[in-house]
Amino acid sequence: MAWDSEDPSKKRGYHHGNLREALIDAALRLIGEKGPGGFTVAEAARAAGVSPAAPYRHFRDRDELLADVAKRGFEDFTARLQAAWQNGQPNPRDALMRVGHAYLAFARHQPAAYSAMFESGLPMASHPGLHAAGEAAFAILREGCEAVLATLPAERRPPALMVALHVWSMSHGVASLFARGDAARRPVPMSPEDLLEAGVLVYFDGLRSGPA
């Protein structure tokens, strides 16, 4: 994920009593450079300026550190989606579009956290806190889809879970399509926001006007 050069995990340095935060910052920087699978606990310790043994005061292993990074990413992500949703005001459709824009903005400005959240390959069953954080984010999208579907005739309302999964897939697909910041990325003649908005509008307009 490299839409821009902003690095949200500026190195704050290690201070006594702040080891956990320093390690999370270090892990975010390393994920930004190498991806979620490309760093070790020892590298995170070195980047944080502490001994190789120091991380084990807070994290059992690399996966636990990565899970904490991803969990915090989802918590921030959820807060941003919730702020965009604004309880569905002034209408559910516009509010859901804002949620989609917030999704893309997070992927653009927090690429390391986004990568940890969606590319770490961590088993959710082994990290219940991470699983709960991810579900909280998805719940906002589902709430938005339920609200939009409620504006349709009853016979044209598919299951809200299915619709939320479709919209989530579109959002993630657009974010991934624009993730590459180099010449290998296929040129797209639309902004990511316009592309996502067009896809969601076509989807819901199809539900409104298509066969029941």
What is d(CA 195, CA 203) in angstroms, rounded to the nearest whole number?
A: 12
| Mean pLDDT value across residues 67-72 | 95
CATH at residue 135:
1.10.357.10
Q: Residue 14: inside a domain, yes or no?
A: no
Q: Residue 49: inside a domain, yes or no?
A: no
User: Long-range contacts for 108-111 (Cβ within 8 Å, ≥24 apart)?
Assistant: 108/1, 108/3, 108/4, 108/175, 108/178, 108/192, 109/3, 109/4, 109/6, 109/8, 110/8, 110/73, 110/76, 110/77, 111/1, 111/2, 111/3, 111/32, 111/179
Q: Residue 129: inside a domain, yes or no?
A: yes
Q: Residue 19: inside a domain, yes or no?
A: no
Total structural domains in the chain?
1
Q: Look at residue 117 in the predicted model and tell me its pLDDT.
A: 95
Q: Residue 4: inside a domain, yes or no?
A: no
Q: Residue 10: inside a domain, yes or no?
A: no
At 93-148, the pLDDT tens digits run: 999 999 999 999 999 999 999 999 999 999 988 999 999 999 999 999 999 999 99
Tell me the chain's radius of gyration from C-alpha atoms: 19
Q: Residue 1: inside a domain, yes or no?
A: no
Domain span at residue 66 reads: 61-209
Q: What predicted TM-score, i.e. pTM, was given to this entire model? A: 0.86
Q: Residue 44: inside a domain, yes or no?
A: no
What is d(CA 208, CA 212) in angstroms, rounded to the nearest whole number?
A: 9
